[in-house]
Amino acid sequence: MTWTVAFDVDFRAEFAAFDAEARKTIAAYALVLASEGPQLGRPMADTFKGSKHASMKELRPTVNKVEWRVAYAFDVTRRATVLAAASKGGRSSALVYKQTIATADARFTRHRANLVSSRTTQSASHTRSQRSSRRTPRR
């Protein structure tokens, strides 16, 4: 089975600013995630500890001998959304995690709210459609 993997709209701009090797490596990891889905484990992925979302995970690529952390989560539609990424090169690991988790949590919270809003709109539209199809035509 192939899983859908999408980049968060705000992450796309950040991703475009990464150097070519980082983009290539992160994209390759995203392809493996699409192939393996939620079962992808170490050494390529792990639970993103410290997130307020239980489904938050991290891809763990190495680019030019520097470790990266790429936050993603599967939503209720079983789609993975890549939310944030940071290089650990030359920075405190704790600081990298703190900043990346904060960004990823905010983006996934927004993503989930958008899904709920979309489902509510679709449900209301479907209900109106059902009501109008049940009406008997006047003669």
pLDDT of 31 above 60? yes
Q: How confident is the model at residue 29 (pLDDT cuts 50, 70, 90)?
A: very high
Q: Is residue 135 assigned to a domain?
A: no
Give the chain's domain count: 1
Q: How confident is the model at residue 111 (pLDDT cuts 50, 70, 90)?
A: very high
Q: Is residue 139 assigned to a domain?
A: no
DSSP, residue by residue, 64-82: TTEEEEEEEEE-TTS-EEE
pLDDT of 131 above 60? no
Q: Is residue 73 assigned to a domain?
A: yes
CA-wise closest residue to 39 among 69, 3, 82, 75: 3
Q: Is residue 119 assigned to a domain?
A: yes
pLDDT reported for residue 132: 54
Strand partners, 85: 70
pLDDT reported for residue 87: 94
3-state secondary structure of 33: helix
- CATH number of residue 104's parent domain: 3.30.2310.20
Comparing 91 with 39, the larger pLDDT belongs to: 39
Between CA 52 and CA 10 the distance in angstroms is: 20
pTM for this structure?
0.82
Q: Is residue 137 assigned to a domain?
A: no
Element (H, E) at 63: strand 62-63
Range of the domain at 97: 5-127
The token pair at 97 is: 């995690």
pLDDT of 128 above 80? no
pLDDT reported for residue 66: 94
Q: Is residue 138 assigned to a domain?
A: no
Q: Is residue 134 assigned to a domain?
A: no
